[in-house]
A and B are shown apart, each in its own frame.
Chain A
Amino acid sequence: MKTQNQNEQLDNLSQELRRGALPLAVLCMLQENKYGYALIGDLTAAGVEMDQGTLYPMLRRLESQGLLQSSWVVDGARPRRYYVISPQGREVLASLSGEWQKLSRVVQSLLEQIEK
């Protein structure tokens, strides 16, 4: 029972840890036009697990914040909505990337301290 609780706890904490990094990953991946289904595949291939229930609402949110642009394209069997990073998105990505590296360094050095 206790281990199950601990597992849940670990799941929740790592989910929380990942949640903040997901928009960063999505902005990185959208340097060129991609539709949702293909993006999920690319993210998975890059090692970022993200289901459609998280991705599509996030794409909408990022678009409403002006960080992404989207357009419907009809080629082949069905219409698809393609997303790409916007100029404002590129600026935000640059600052976020700096933040991420700083955070990563700080956490890394903290972890190294306890390993000693």
Chain B
Amino acid sequence: MNLVERYLHAVGRRLPAKNRADILAELRSHLNDTLEERFGGQASEEDVAELLKETGEPTKVAASYTGGRQYLIGPELYPVFRMVALIVLAATIGGQLVAIAVGLLAGEAHAAGWNAWAGLVNSIPAALGSVVIVFLILQHFGVNPDLKEKEAWDPKTLPAFEEDEKVKPSEQIVGIVFGSIFLGLLAAFPGKIGFITFPGGAFYPDPVIAQYMGWIILALLAGIGLNVYLLWQGRWTTGSRVAQVAVNLLSIGVLVLLYQGHTAWLAAHGSSGLFPSLVKFGEDIAENIQVLGMESFRLAFGIALVVTVVDTVVELVKLVRKSLRKESVPGN
């Protein structure tokens, strides 16, 4: 094959299939015209090589036709992509490590086996791959909320700068990672959230958690979604504070259901009050431990409930304070 055809083949390999034949035909025509004019159809291989050198490396020539779009995720989306990829990676690895640890504590031999570790290694490219696919779609449809030029943009709509309005990324990342770990656990061990009497002993799934599983997952997803949004925006707004309060109210609702569910279960098993088992023990040791376990879960949900209520009150105070300040600013 002559040098020109070898050159065209090398260029063609780097061109999009759509216009390849057309671009190559034109380039071939140009090269032959040049050769004919310079050497009158008597070009030696050296002459051809000289012309091709002048024309440029195949990679560069091909790149000049592709308009420079030789990337999967553009510079506008890349910072968000990197952040989301790191979070997903942390959540994937963290979630599985916790799952392995829980499996080990629960005495499930397969949890520590080769398969568990292989699964962990395999999940990394799968998780990253999913993030890449999502961003490829965003890139393809030109979704680019940060840098997209808005019509009739008004500088006066820039948010006022207040120190407490800045979102602290660490808080959101911790929220996302822990939320994802809990979700991962619920997904990995459906119906297996409960307690064991002693290492290797009988396992009691918590019936109340299983009953409200859908609500728990919904509350976790809402929390994770809001955290991702806040991380993306970087600043608190009235809207996101209202959303935070709404997510908190949902969590409070779910926690109340869980707390009451446990109380009802304990009452049905002959216990009432805060720590009845300390006062009265039945004769069946296994049942006593079950009651103790359910009390511990109830205590954990109770603490979570108090923390969430306090957090919600703080958010509400901030929201009210902010709206009062807004009204007191002259001209607003």
Contacts and interface: CB of A to CB of B under 8 A. Distances in A.
B29 A79 contact: yes
A15 interface: no
Nearest to B34: A37
Contact of B29 (A53, A60, A80): A80
B26 A36 contact: yes
A53 B25 contact: no
Contact of B25 (A52, A60, A79): A79
A60 B32 CA distance: 20
- B interface secondary structure, majority: helix
A53 B32 CA distance: 15
Contacts of B26: 36, 56, 81
A36 B33 CA distance: 10
Interface residues of A, number: 16
A101 interface: no
Contacts of B212: none
Q: Name the prevailing secondary structure of the A interface residues.
A: helix
A20 interface: no
Interface residues of B, number: 19
A57 interface: yes
A81 B25 CA distance: 9
A35 B65 contact: no
* Top 7 A-B residue pairs of the complex, sorted by shortest distance between their CB atoms: A37-B33, A57-B64, A81-B26, A57-B65, A37-B30, A53-B64, A80-B29
17 contacts: A35-B29, A52-B30, A53-B55, A53-B56, A53-B61, A54-B64, A56-B23, A56-B27, A57-B67, A60-B23, A61-B67, A77-B36, A78-B28, A78-B29, A78-B32, A80-B33, A81-B25
Interface of A: 35-37, 52-54, 56-57, 60-61, 72, 77-81
